[in-house]
Every structure is written in C-alpha cells, then in structure tokens.
Amino acid sequence: MSSRSSPDPPDPALAGSLLGLALGDALGFAVEALDPPEAARYAAGLTAGPLDSSAIRARHPYRAGQYSDDTQQARELLRSIADCGQWQAAAFAARLAALFAAGHDVGAGPGTRGAALRLHAGVSLADAAAPADYAGNGAAMRAAPLGLLFGGERLLAVASEQARITHRHPACAAGAAAIALAARLLASADADPAAIPARVAAYVRPLDRDTASALLEVTALLPLEPGKASARLVRLGLDPLAPREYSGVTAHVLPSVCWALYAALRHADAWPRAVATAIAAGGDTDTTGAMAGAMVGARIGAAALPPAARAVHDRGSWGHDALLQLAAMLRPA
C-alpha cells in the first residue's frame, strides 16, 4: 500500500470497513454491558425499518452516534500509516499514547489503556504491552481495515506487530489477524462466507493454535440460530475468566472474535442484520458490533452502508466525511 494526498475517492472496501466499524461501534456502544435481553430488544429495532440516525440510542453523556475506542484506535492506526506512507510501529504507538494521555479515549479496556499510558510515560515499544495473561480484544477491534491495505505474509506481520504494542498474549495477535483476513476475504467477490472460518484458522495457526481451534468452531456455529449459536459458544469456555452467569459475550479476544465472525458470515450481505446479530448477544457489544460492521462493510462498500453511517462522530468531530477522507489517503497495494 501507499499513502497519497490526491482527492480521488477512497477504495470502497477500505472506506466500508472503516465506516462500518464506526457505525457498528456507535450502535453497540449504546448497550455495552447491559443485560443481554436489553441488548436484544435494542438490536431487534435495528432491523425493524430503515437504519437511519434515529435508530442509534444515545449513551450518557455522549450524543447519539458517538463511537468508542474501537474506532478511535482504528482511525489512529490508519492515520499513522497515512503519515508514514507505510506501517511503522513507533508511529502508531505515538498516536495511541497521545490519544490516551489526552484523555480523549472513550470506553477503553484496561489492556490498551495501560499499554498506551506506559508508552506515554516512556516505556519502550517492546515492554509496554499488557501482561501475557491478559487476552482482551483491543488489538482485534481495530484491525479489520488492515486487511484491505495488506495481504499475505505482510498482513500477518502488520496485524501481529500492531497487536503486540498493546497485548502480549499470542491470541491477541491471532485474533487481530483473523479479523483483518476475514475482512479481506469478504471483500473479494468470489469468497464463500461458509469457507472463511477454515481459511482464517489456517492463516493464524502459526501465531496461536488455540485461536485457530476456536475459529474452526465458527463453521459449526454458522447453521445455528443465534440463540443456539451463542449457547454453544459459551459452552466452549473460550474465556477462562467469564462469569458463571451468562451476561453476554465477554471482552476476551476469542469469544468476541468468534461471535463477530459468526454474525458477519451469517449475514455477509446484510449489514444491519449482521450487526444486530452481533449486538443482540449482549456483553462487549461495541466491539462485536464494530468487528462485524467492519467485516461486512468491507464486503458491501461504504456507499451501501445504512444512512445511519452519516451520524457517527467522536465528540462532534471525525465523523463520516473525515473518516472517508482518511480512507482516501490510503491506497491498497
């Protein structure tokens, strides 16, 4: 890939992945960590009619359409690549540190926050990441657009390196690579969604065998209705720290990546249904919504996203048009 300053329109898949991520994040952020039945009621409303800005619930103290750290991190990742004309770990780390040091992050988890603040305090790039026993989804939530900029071994390397800045656990790098490759495969017209879990599992196996095994389970989830699929996902016990009482998909990288992939592949050509499915299970809904929204957004392209995509923002700035302009600065190889 390369960066550029020309006013050409953005690549539709790249723009779709970024805006789809932002809208899925903004929709899910409204019900993050609420009881799953409440998330399910809200999600049902997202497919009841045209998905315009009136469908987005506000979350105090923010205006409706506010996206959270998932999109903020994806945005800063892409800005770092646009700045440098290529992937550079130090450039992304600097942007991440600045975002958190300024207190501008919205709803971030402890892994990314801790790493970003350590980077800001001068801890080296190699040492700032969260400890290896923490496997949150912070690196996967921001990774989808990378799949539209890089391919093959280069994508695997960039997805891993950006993950390693904040998360040391190998599942975090593998989860990020899985989401990025799935976005890439979904954007290619000839990809069969049902074949994607096996392809993604094989791709990330060198990074983490447990992640590969979990991704293979998504093939078996796909024919199941969401209620049965989420129950089966819980029984897999992918998050060792999950509460005994089900309260939604946790922020552990494995269940959240698998659930987002299930939702995206089950409704690969129907963005509102994919994101509603991701959110309806409850839990870490901003991130499952963001990941599913980014993957399906890559497939359908920015112009086919619901009208609500015009309403996303970060405290009144970095909205729809600015995100499109950012995507236009980047050109897939």
Residues engaged in binding Mg ion (CB under 5 A): 68-70, 107, 286
At 98 the three-state DSSP class reads: helix
Please report the sign of the dihedral spanned by the C-alpha atoms of residue 146, residue 152, residue 154, residue 158. positive
Residue whose structure tokens are 């953005």: 10
Tell me whether residue 137 or residue 160 sits nearer to Mg ion (CB atom).
Answer: 137
Tell me whether residue 69 or residue 314 sits nearer to Mg ion (CB atom).
Answer: 69
CA–CA gap between residue 8 and residue 172 (Å, rounded): 34
Are 138 and 112 spatial neighbours (Cβ–Cβ below 8 Å)?
yes
Least distance to Mg ion, CB of residue 107, Å? 4
Tell me whether residue 69 or residue 239 sits nearer to Mg ion (CB atom).
Answer: 69
Least distance to Mg ion, CB of residue 189, Å? 31
- The letter for the amino acid at 83 is D
CA–CA gap between residue 98 and residue 72 (Å, rounded): 12
Least distance to Mg ion, CB of residue 131, Å? 21
Tell me whether residue 150 or residue 318 sits nearer to Mg ion (CB atom).
Answer: 318
Least distance to Mg ion, CB of residue 284, Å? 8
Tokens of 63: 């205006």
Tokens of 77: 């990742």
Residue whose structure tokens are 């923010």: 62
Least distance to Mg ion, CB of residue 88, Å? 25
Q: Which residue is nearest to Mg ion (CB)?
A: 68
Tell me whether residue 239 or residue 286 sits nearer to Mg ion (CB atom).
Answer: 286
- The letter for the amino acid at 215 is L
What residues form DSSP beta bridges with 136?
A: 252
